[in-house]
Amino acid sequence: MTTPTGLVAKKIGMTRMVDKNGQMIAVTLLQIENQKITKVLTKERDGYDAYQVGYKETKEKNLAKPDIGRMRKVNVKENFTTFREFRTDAPVTAELGSTLTTDLLNGVTAVDVTGITKGRGFTGSVKRWDTAVGRWSHGSRFHRSPGSLGTRTTPGRVFRGKPVPGHYGVEQVTIQNLRVVDVDQENSLIALTGAVPGHRNGYLFINPSIKV
């Protein structure tokens, strides 16, 4: 049996703090909003152990009736619009409808943060894939172009994985082993070292780091 470990957090932004060594460091502030366990999954019934968290409230009229029914059945009075599963290695002991708070991070020194990166629109292969650029000498016509895409009739196609221009960003990324600088339980705030994926007010998923 295990207890919940993952949380949903909202990115507030970045600031600076003084750590315990007296050094000024850059941190990202995350807000832990109201969230509750809406479902517990078991290996016998669902094939794996996990728990589902509901977050991001709205008006009841904006919800589908099946979602309203199953949340009221587990004593969740909030109108959550979004749900996230957190897998565990053993069956979860938490009760349905229980609230998740910053108390889950007691004793946790580092976390893994998963989120969706910012969208950067249509970009070239140099910015998108960090490919090499051409010569910058006089007469060059391929400064930042992607170069040759194929070799005539053999093979007569573009190889899979060829770095070409396209949409950049809006991808799920996990940043591992971010140090927990401070946990403000009164205001439900978490301060982590460095940057995390996504834009301001975007939602992130936090788990204890697997590489501490």
Q: Is residue 2 part of a domain?
A: no
Confidence (pLDDT) at 19: 85
Kindly report, residue by residue over 153-201, the tens digit of the pLDDT: 888 888 888 899 999 999 999 999 999 999 999 999 999 999 999 999 9
Binning pLDDT at 50, 70 and 90, where does residue 94 land? confident
The answer to whether residues 80 and 182 belong to one domain is yes
The answer to whether residues 39 and 138 belong to one domain is no
Report residue 43 CA to chain centroid gap: 25
Q: Which residue has the higher pLDDT, 111 or 5?
A: 111
Task: Round to whole Å and give the CA distance between 186 and 79.
Answer: 24
Report residue 81 CA to chain centroid gap: 17
Q: Is residue 115 part of a domain?
A: yes
Q: Which residue has the higher pLDDT, 147 or 129?
A: 129
Helix (H, G, I), strand (E, B) or coil at 151: coil
Range of the domain at 146: 120-169
Q: Shortest CA distance to 196 belongs to which of 9, 7, 33? A: 9
Q: Which two tokens stand for residue 193?
A: 């070292």
The answer to whether residues 107 and 127 belong to one domain is no
The answer to whether residues 102 and 26 belong to one domain is yes
The answer to whether residues 164 and 179 belong to one domain is no
The answer to whether residues 104 and 144 belong to one domain is no
Q: Which residue has the higher pLDDT, 152 or 88?
A: 88
Contact (CB, 8 A) for 204 and 114: yes
Q: Is residue 1 part of a domain?
A: no
DSSP letters for 71-101: HHHTT--S-EEEEEEEE-SS-B-PPTTPBP-
Kindly report, residue by residue over 26-83, the tens digit of the pLDDT: 999 999 999 999 999 999 999 999 999 999 999 999 999 999 999 999 989 999 999 9
The answer to whether residues 146 and 66 belong to one domain is no
Q: Please, where are the H alpha helices in the chain?
A: 43-46, 65-73, 125-129
- What is the total count of domains within the chain? 2
Q: Can you give the CATH number for the domain in which 195 is found? A: 3.30.160.810
Helix (H, G, I), strand (E, B) or coil at 163: coil
Q: Is residue 87 part of a domain?
A: yes
Q: Tokens 């970045």 identify what position?
A: 14
